[in-house]
Amino acid sequence: MGPRVTILDYGMGNIFSIERAMRKLGCETVLADSPEGIAGAERLILPGVGAFGKAMEELERRDCVRAILDYAASGKPLLGICLGMQLLMREGSEFGGGRGLGIVEGRVVALKGEDMDGRRLKVPHIGWNGVCENGKEASWKGTILDGVGWDSSFYFVHSFVCVPSDQGAVLAETSYGSERFPSVIQAGNIHGCQFHPEKSGPLGLAVCRNFAFNTPEKGCGDAIRKDAGQAA
């Protein structure tokens, strides 16, 4: 059996798709819905589909916020997927806004949904789209995008995007109309994908494999804001 990967089950994620992908890679999977389950994780995935505020409510209702912050601060690998990546930010703007986990400094904003001439594009952004380097291609080596080629396509379903305060946390970007948004972030042991790797075929499995097998069991933890505990 490969690495043990814990998937946070709080009622707002593609739990079984992620579980199948990880098992296909030979990982042992565990579903967690409590602080105890999070604390015992070796590698943790925070999935998410739906509204930012509702997701935070569910995490708080299960007393999971503090446990996630403590886990992130431990330096062990954490991967947020789609809404799960957005929850890593300090603040969301959906339906009037609200606080996020605050693990990575930044905000979540609505997609503009406009082409280069200002014409409206469909939102949510649904379908396959490419990811491009934020910097040199060599920057992907040793990350969850290791071995993924320039402009490789992944499957997206979202209406909001992350805007990290530190551009250095942006590992890859994706274009939709006139807008270019962060599609992969990494800050220390914290990783995030705006796309769904579990629904993105072989390349998505490569991302999952990199997270499960290639990220160190203990990172530097430098993604954690010193005041992140205020989100609890």
- From first to last of its 232 residues, what are the pLDDT tens digits of the chain? 789 999 999 998 779 999 999 999 999 999 999 999 999 999 999 999 988 999 999 999 999 999 999 999 999 999 999 999 999 999 887 766 689 999 999 999 999 888 787 788 899 999 999 998 765 455 788 999 999 988 899 999 999 999 999 999 999 999 999 999 999 999 999 999 999 999 999 999 999 999 999 887 766 666 665 556 454 4
59 close to 71: Cβ distance less than 8 angstroms = no
Q: Please state the φ and ψ torsions of residue 100, each to the nearest 5 degrees.
A: -105, -160
Tell me, yes or no, whether 225 lies in a domain. no
Tell me, yes or no, whether 231 lies in a domain. no
Tell me, yes or no, whether 229 lies in a domain. no
Domain of 129, CATH number, reads 3.40.50.880
User: Can you tell me the distance from the alpha carbon of 151 to that of 172, in angstroms, rounded to the nearest whole number?
Assistant: 10
Tell me, yes or no, whether 223 lies in a domain. no
Tell me, yes or no, whether 138 lies in a domain. yes
Tell me, yes or no, whether 227 lies in a domain. no
User: Residue 85 is part of which domain span?
Assistant: 4-218
Number of domains composing the chain: 1
Element (H, E) at 58: helix 52-61
Tell me, yes or no, whether 41 lies in a domain. yes
CA distances from 190 to 46, 94, 112, 171, 202 (A): 11, 23, 27, 12, 23
CA of residue 109 relative to chain centroid, distance: 15
Tell me, yes or no, whether 151 lies in a domain. yes
Segments of the chain assigned E as strands: 4-8, 28-32, 44-46, 78-81, 89-92, 98-99, 104-110, 125-130, 132-133, 153-158, 160-164, 170-176, 179-187, 190-193
- Return the active site residues: 82, 196, 198
pTM over 0.85: yes
